[in-house]
């Protein structure tokens, strides 16, 4: 069963796939052995014969992996194939917010160009980029930063001395960077990690970008900082998608996108390929290619 029609031809390699949103499941289904979905809670009680949950995405914060493991259900995700797309979008948001691209677009469309060109933006080249989480996606962001001559600071488990930048404790990174971009998964440790106190550490005029998960940030506190006009932001993710805090909608200092991080044709097709390869492996009785690790309770 797939909760929606995922892109690409790979899905056609699976026989007998029913496309049905989980909320339309109705009752128990003992004919479903594989579930393809995008970071949704798994209705284990309704799917007694389930063998694999193949998540279309790298983040799996809404899947109870331990409960699945206890039932013998394998959970897989799609790491690696979306790093470039997400890093590209992070830079798109950085450039859009920093160079006032959306504001400029509005100015042109409203016929105001000529009367005004808008205020001057802040240059990206040569500024300091803080990467919160130097995992696969964070590293792809750091590599792109080289082309903009950015000084890179990062938090993460990698030892100091990485050639991609300078390791900093998170509070120091937030107060030193001109641009902060989040690339940690949503976990118990990272939920609400960027709280009001940490947001207050951001420098005046700095730019905050989130392509990871909305719940990593105290959204109310972020909205308050943006309403005050003290910082800029590029936001692709929100705490309660597709709900976006109404206070953000008219702000000129925030660029909003609808969770587009992995949304390129190439990446989404690669994600579908990996999803299907995981399902086929488990169907054959082989180990899955990219299983999600089960953490001990």
Beta carbon nearer to ligand 8YV, 59 or 288: 59
The reply to whether 261 sits near ligand 8YV by the rule CB under 6 A is yes
Q: Given the complex with ligand 8YV, which of 84 and 262 has the nearer CB atom?
A: 262
Instruction: Give me the 131-150 binding string for ligand 8YV, x by CB under 6 A, dash otherwise.
Output: --------------------
User: Minimum distance from CB of 21 to ligand 8YV (Å)?
Assistant: 13
Comparing CA positions, the residue from 206, 238, 205 lying closest to residue 223 is: 238
- Interface residues for ligand 8YV in 25-44 (CB under 6 A)? 38-39
DSSP-derived 3-state class of residue 106: helix
Q: Does 238 bind ligand 8YV (CB under 6 A)?
A: no
d(CA 272, CA 81): 10
CA atoms within 13 A on the CB side of 255: 25
Contact letters for ligand 8YV, residues 262-291 (x by CB under 6 A): x-----------------------------
Q: How far is the CB of 22 from ligand 8YV (least distance, A)?
A: 13
Closest CA to 145 of 131, 157, 159: 131
Q: State yes or no: residue 57 binds ligand 8YV (CB under 6 A).
A: yes
Active-site residue flag, 123:
no
Per CB under 6 A, which region of 103-111, 174-182, 222-230, 255-263 contacts ligand 8YV? 255-263
69-75 long-range contacts (CB < 8 A, ≥24 apart) are: 69/294, 71/44, 73/42, 73/44, 74/282, 74/288, 74/291, 75/291, 75/292
Active site residue 243: no
Known catalytic membership, residue 259? yes
CA distance 105 to 271: 32
Distances (CA, A) of 254 to 54, 207, 234, 257: 34, 9, 6, 10
Could you say which residues in the range 69-88 bind ligand 8YV, by CB under 6 A?
82
For ligand 8YV, the binding residues (CB under 6 A) are: 38-39, 56-59, 82, 259, 261-262
Active site amino acids: 213, 241, 259
């Amino acid at each position: 069963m797939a909760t929606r029609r995922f892109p690409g031809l790979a899905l056609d390699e699976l026989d007998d796939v029913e496309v049905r949103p989980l909320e339309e499941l109705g009752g128990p289904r003992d004919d479903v052995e594989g579930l393809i979905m995008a970071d949704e809670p798994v209705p284990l009680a309704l799917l007694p014969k389930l063998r694999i949950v193949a998540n279309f995405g790298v983040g799996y914060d809404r899947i109870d992996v331990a409960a699945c493991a206890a039932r013998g259900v394998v959970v897989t995700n799609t790491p690696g194939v979306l790093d470039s797309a997400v890093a590209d979008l992070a830079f798109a948001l950085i450039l859009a917010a920093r160079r006032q691209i959306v504001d400029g677009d509005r100015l042109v469309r409203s016929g105001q160009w000529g009367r005004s060109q808008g205020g001057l933006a802040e240059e990206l080249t040569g500024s300091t980029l803080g990467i919160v989480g130097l995992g696969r996606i964070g590293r792809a962001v750091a590599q792109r930063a080289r082309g903009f001559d950015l000084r890179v600071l990062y938090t993460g488990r990698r030892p100091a001395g990485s050639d991609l930048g300078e390791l900093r404790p998170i509070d120091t990174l937030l107060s030193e960077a001109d641009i902060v971009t989040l690339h940690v998964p949503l976990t118990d440790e990272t939920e609400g990690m960027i709280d009001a106190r940490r947001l207050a550490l951001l420098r005046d005029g700095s730019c905050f970008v989130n392509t990871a998960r909305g719940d990593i940030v105290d959204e109310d506190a972020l909205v308050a900082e943006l309403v005050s006009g003290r910082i800029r932001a590029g936001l692709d993710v929100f705490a309660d998608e597709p709900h976006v805090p109404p206070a953000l909608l008219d702000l000129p200092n925030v660029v909003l996108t609808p969770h587009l991080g992995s949304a390129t044709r190439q990446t989404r097709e690669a994600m579908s390929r990996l999803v299907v390869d995981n399902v086929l492996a488990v169907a054959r009785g082989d180990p899955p290619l990219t299983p999600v690790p089960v953490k001990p309770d």
